[in-house]
Amino acid sequence: MATEKTFKDVQVTSSEIEIRKIGLKDLWQALKEGFDDFNAKPSHVVFLCVIYPLFALLLTLILTGQNLLHLVFPMVAGLTLLGPVVSIGLFEMSRRRELGLDVTWSSSFGFVHSSTFAPILALSVVMMLLYVAWLYMAQLIYFGLFGAVPPVSISDFATQVLTTRQGGALIFYGTLVGFLFAVAAMAISVVAFPMLLDKQVSAMTAVRTSIKAVTSNLLMMAIWGLIVAVLLAAGSILFLIGLAVVLPILGHSTWHLYRKLVEP
């Protein structure tokens, strides 16, 4: 009598996965294909429904005197660490469109009923912990330079940051530490999340492959990171409304970048 195969029986190992070398043309093609996916299935309304409640919550906390002014920028900038987590549905939409399958929001989260959900959930928790660690470090840097008393107003905070030596140090150290967190996040997730949807792999195998893909294409991935940062900054203009378009395009594009980095 045949026995049912388990996830462990069919999972792919890291030694079976080959990484490609990519160039600027591949980055451009990934963006173009991501834009095509967005045009085929626009999702900006969904992202508006997510972005604005988060923005409103942050604004409410500030206006009610929660003394979070010194963490406003780290909170917003650090959301890029959670980008792959909130883009899982977009990865699945691109995957299904690529295969000619039905592309709807409900079908895009069908993976929650599959064996891939557990490793995706585990990696999502890792990314969330990374975000919390970034906020903790940002607070440590601020308190180390200005003491444990948060700024009392926006003008007070702006004066601290723009007119004092401690403010210059805050910008320098905050940017440096934020850069390190961003590099770590991209290295462990840029390939890992799409791969978990595409192949029967463990979370550890997906992370190892992602790190290998990044280290094998350091220059191109550095350029990709710069492209992402520029697009996110542009999308943040006009009260974050541009992010409702930029985020889904980047999500779809990341799927196609994965396709170019990893051999089928």
One pLDDT digit (tens) per residue for the chain, 264 residues: 444 445 454 566 666 789 999 999 999 999 999 999 998 887 665 665 565 556 655 655 555 555 677 777 787 777 778 888 888 888 999 999 998 888 877 777 888 888 888 999 999 999 999 988 998 999 999 989 988 777 777 787 888 888 889 989 999 999 999 999 999 999 999 999 999 999 889 999 999 999 999 999 999 999 999 999 888 888 777 656 777 788 889 999 999 999 999 987
Assigned domain for 210 exists: yes
Assigned domain for 52 exists: no
Assigned domain for 141 exists: yes
AA identity, residue 70: H
- Residue 111, H or E segment: none
Rounded to two decimals, the pTM is: 0.83
Assigned domain for 171 exists: yes
Assigned domain for 13 exists: no
- Beta-carbon contacts of 213 under 8 Å, excluding residues fewer than 6 positions away, are 19, 190, 191, 221, 261, 262
- Output phi, psi for 197, to 5 deg: -80, -30
Assigned domain for 58 exists: no
Assigned domain for 12 exists: no
Domain count, the chain: 1
- Domain limits for position 85: 19-46+66-261
Assigned domain for 82 exists: yes
